[in-house]
């Protein structure tokens, strides 16, 4: 086993997952349930499956597309997502119309 690769992958994923929407969703679900073990098991299985799919896709893609192109595509993807999040966060939320019956 390549321990440096294992360690860098672990550190990267661990840091990337801290405070993201997935973790916030898990905190929310845990807060509304008294079964934190089930929440942990479900979220762990989901992360493992998503990681398996990513690793399999990356392995398959790397035989067809060079690693530099894959890194560039991933970087552009993250930039697009980040830019969209920044734009969305900078826009003021529209205020709810108190006369709107569908608001609730």
List pLDDT tens digits, range 10-51: 888 888 877 777 888 888 888 888 898 999 999 899 989 988
Domain ranges within the chain, ordered by starting residue: 3-65
In this model, does residue 97 exceed pLDDT 80? no
pLDDT tens, residue by residue, 46-70 = 989 988 988 888 777 778 888 888 8
> Residue 49's pLDDT is what?
92
Read off the pTM. Answer: 0.51
In this model, does residue 101 exceed pLDDT 70? no
And the tokens for 54? Answer: 């990513």
Task: Round to whole Å and give the CA distance between 18 and 37.
Answer: 19
The C-alpha R_g of the chain, in whole angstroms, comes to 19
Helix (H, G, I), strand (E, B) or coil at 69: helix
Q: Using alpha carbons, list the distances in angstroms from residue 16 to 6, 21, 35, 52, 104.
A: 15, 11, 26, 17, 36
Task: Round to whole Å and give the CA distance between 17 and 11.
Answer: 10
């Amino acid at each position: 086993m390549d321990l440096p690769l294992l360690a860098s992958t672990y550190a990267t994923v661990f840091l990337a997952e801290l405070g993201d929407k997935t973790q916030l969703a898990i905190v929310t679900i845990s807060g509304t349930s008294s079964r934190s073990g089930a929440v942990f098991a479900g979220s762990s299985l989901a992360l493992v499956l998503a990681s398996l799919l990513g690793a399999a896709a990356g392995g398959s893609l790397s035989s067809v597309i060079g690693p530099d192109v894959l890194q560039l595509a991933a970087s552009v993807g993250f930039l697009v997502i980040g830019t969209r999040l920044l734009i969305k966060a900078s826009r003021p939320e529209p205020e709810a119309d108190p006369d709107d019956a569908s608001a609730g």
